Copies of this chain bind each other. A is one copy, B any other.
């Protein structure tokens, strides 16, 4: 369930709490991505100590490895990875469309070949939810069709039709022990987005995701879509913008009423040595320039003996220097990526805390 705590008067931003029988997460929230059952370089204990309240895992990858059978034997992904907070799973659809070169969309589902061993897999709305049941996630997504940005209007129309057909088949599997989200598609076509959103709201999902954004359109365009789409969605249900984004994008999307985010940026950019910091640790400002990034592998940090992150709760980031992290990146020590990942995931979680405080204080 979702408890709306406060709505901003200045924008559509709101603070709330995502709740299941077991546990809760404060929104707006950011979900680090544990694609294959681990956030790259981090353990669940690391995520807990960073203060993460919810993570995302990808059904497509889980189906392929370790597979539904092993997940069932393990007693679900929470037990498997030692994580007792919330898990959201996608439907697997997005990866089918982005990773699998050979795929066929049929009215019943989508047929594809595993990118690993070429095995043929037929994913239906029901099968996706069965896989998510094996994973045991707290928040589950219905199977949708997410066409590439280059698609024609006709193709987007068909994608919305099928998305709605699959949503109506999926909603029957709503159960009180998890939240089931419908996904709004429609690319940048306002009429398609609105009708898709209306039909999904009619079906009464536990929450709504806005998919098919951040796939090639400008972010201004995406904000427009959020703006008119979110207005259709019920205030009492959580809203999730999939796959976004940079810190300033998250702030803007929050203003449009979005509660949940996931993105590979903090972890992927950590692997490339790009570190995120707040420009000013002492206040919650989210004005232009509120954060900066540094390329830690750059030679200018080779002699920078200031702490990696003076304000971090991770002792290593306070004690060790930028020069040392620069050295670790240059010598390809695996510790380099771990430290950078800890820094960036902490940054994103702190960003959400700042956002929540800003909304609570009426500043967003």
Contacts and interface: CB of A to CB of B under 8 A. Distances in A.
A42 interface: yes
A155 interface: no
Contacts of A45: 315-316, 319
Contact of A37 (B41, B316, B319, B327): B327
Contact of A334 (B37, B41, B66): B41
A323 B81 CA distance: 10
Interface string A8-43: 000000000000000000000000000011101111
A188 interface: no
Nearest to A40: B334
A82 interface: yes
Interface in A58-104: 61, 65-66, 70, 73-74, 80-82
Contact of A335 (B41, B305, B315, B330): B41
Nearest to A37: B327
Contacts of A260: none
A303 interface: yes
B302 A338 contact: no
A222 interface: no
A335 to B, nearest CB: 5
A82 B41 contact: no
Nearest 7 interchain pairs by C-beta: A36-B331, A41-B334, A66-B327, A82-B319, A38-B333, A38-B335, A43-B316
